[in-house]
Amino acid sequence: MNGPRVLSFLIENWTLVALAVVSGGALIWPALARGAQGGAISPQEAVRLINREKAVVIDVCEPQEYAAGHVTGSRSIPLASLGGSKDLPSNKALPLVVVCASGARASRAVGQLRKAGYENAKVLGGGLKAWREASLPVESSKP
């Protein structure tokens, strides 16, 4: 007998129900968006992939940014030249950790890499900034 009461409540308070649905969607959306991208990984997770699974770090910054500072041992492949780069590993099963200054270009790069068959490409969440904040090694090419 509670069915008609619930239906009546929902009809009379449709604005509250709509607000609850929209609020819930807004809370869930970031998690769904991360899941669609494969999610960004933390600097600690990147180190684990590098040490245990021989992940290759790909820096998609411009050459002058890369020279100013980059993850130690990373390969410089600017985003604009990523598609035809010979510096990508031939083994497409290897994990790739893609980094840029903040993570925005790296997200686009991961999309390109996955289309090219690199299914294990991951974005370093927060980019080089997060790497530095975690006190992990950075090197520069400038004198």
Are the CB atoms for 129 and 87 separated by under 8 Å? no
Are the CB atoms for 92 and 80 separated by under 8 Å? no
The token pair at 59 is 């820096």
For residue 61, indicate whether it is catalytic: no
Could you give phi then psi for residue 135, rounded to 5 degrees? 60, 40
Rounded Cα–Cα distance for residues 124 and 121 (Å): 10
Rounded Cα–Cα distance for residues 80 and 84 (Å): 9
Letter string b/e over residues 94-131, b meaning 16 or more CB atoms within 10 A of that residue's CB: bbbbbbbbebebbbebbeebeeeebebbbbbbbbbebb
Catalytic site residue from 47, 57, 61, 100:
100
Residues annotated as part of the active site:
100
